[in-house]
Amino acid sequence: DTAVSQTPKYLVTQMGNDKSIKCEQNLGHDTMYWYKQDSKKFLKIMFSYNNKELIINETVPNRFSPKSPDKAHLNLHINSLELGDSAVYFCASSRPGLALNEQFFGPGTRLTVL
Amino acid sequence: KNQVEQSPQSLIILEGKNCTLQCNYTVSPFSNLRWYKQDTGRGPVSLTIMTFSENTKSNGRYTATLDADTKQSSLHITASQLSDSASYICVVSAPKAAGNKLTFGGGTRVLVKP
């Protein structure tokens, strides 16, 4: 199936731990994103990568470090997890110039920090 | 401050009825406006994308309108079905020169009852 996939779907961990969320897209897109959806359901951009290069970094704590090994992958590593990091994290991808840069979203990863 | 506000926050309608969701935005500069549908536990899926020169766009039973002068958009759902139960999110995109940044509304939760 052509899609944006994320693993894991659910992640429950203790405060202070380090965790990673993986994202892969097989749509041939060259731009990938990470979004955070808080309890009020607002989606906010965290990072954007184009061809493995960081192009958007929206005032995110440096505990969050995205890594793009290639155009099809954008992983999110979080150090020293805090209670406020609990949210649903969505990965997305797009190809600028295609349908007004329409973004395709993954299914989300629900992170719960205890 | 760039904002996207949606109303109502939630609504309940009977199967087969029509409903209209509203979106007001202050985002500038503006490139296009999108409506996404987000099912519970899933990522958002694009319904329509409109540029400032488009007044209306349809996707099946979904019809979006845009008034770029008043910075208002609406999403009309015709003959609602149980599968229309979801959150509907209005998203405004900045131009490519501004990084194609998306600003998300908080969504309208629609519940269709039999």
What's the rounded Cα separation, in Å, for the pair A94 and A55?
Answer: 13
- What value does the mean pLDDT take over residues A31-58? 85
Is pLDDT at A59 greater than 80 in this prediction?
Answer: no
Q: Residue A81 — pLDDT band, cuts 50, 70, 90? A: very high
Residue A50 is predicted with a pLDDT of 84
Tokens at A11, concatenated = 């992640």
Buried b (16+ CB within 10 A) or exposed e, A52-87: eeeebeeebeeebebebeebbbbbbebeebeeebbb
Across the interface, do A56 and B43 touch by the CB < 8 Å criterion? no
* 3-class DSSP state of B84: helix
* 3-class DSSP state of A17: coil
Across the interface, do B49 and A102 touch by the CB < 8 Å criterion? yes
CB-nearest to B107 from A4, A41, A106 is A41
Considering only residues B63 and A40, tell me which one the structure prediction assigns the higher pLDDT. Answer: B63
Residue B46's Cα: distance from chain center in Å?
9
Is pLDDT at B4 greater than 90 in this prediction?
Answer: yes
**Cβ–Cβ < 8 Å for B19, B80:** yes
Is pLDDT at A51 greater than 90 in this prediction?
Answer: no
Residue A97 is predicted with a pLDDT of 65
- φ/ψ of B105, rounded to 5, equals -80, 170
Q: Best residue in B33, B40, B50, B104 to probe A by mutation, most A CBs within 10 Å?
A: B104
Is pLDDT at B96 greater than 80 in this prediction?
Answer: no
Across the interface, do B43 and A42 touch by the CB < 8 Å criterion? no
CB-nearest to A55 from B49, B93, B99 is B99
What's the rounded Cα separation, in Å, for the pair A19 and A37?
Answer: 18
Is pLDDT at B100 greater than 80 in this prediction?
Answer: no
- Chain A nearest-CA residue for B32: A100
Judging contacts by C-beta atoms under 8 Å, the chain B residues touching residue A42 are: 104-106
Neighbour count for residue B71 (Cβ, 10 Å) = 18
Tokens at A96, concatenated = 């600028």
Is pLDDT at B110 greater than 80 in this prediction?
Answer: yes
Residue B27 is predicted with a pLDDT of 85
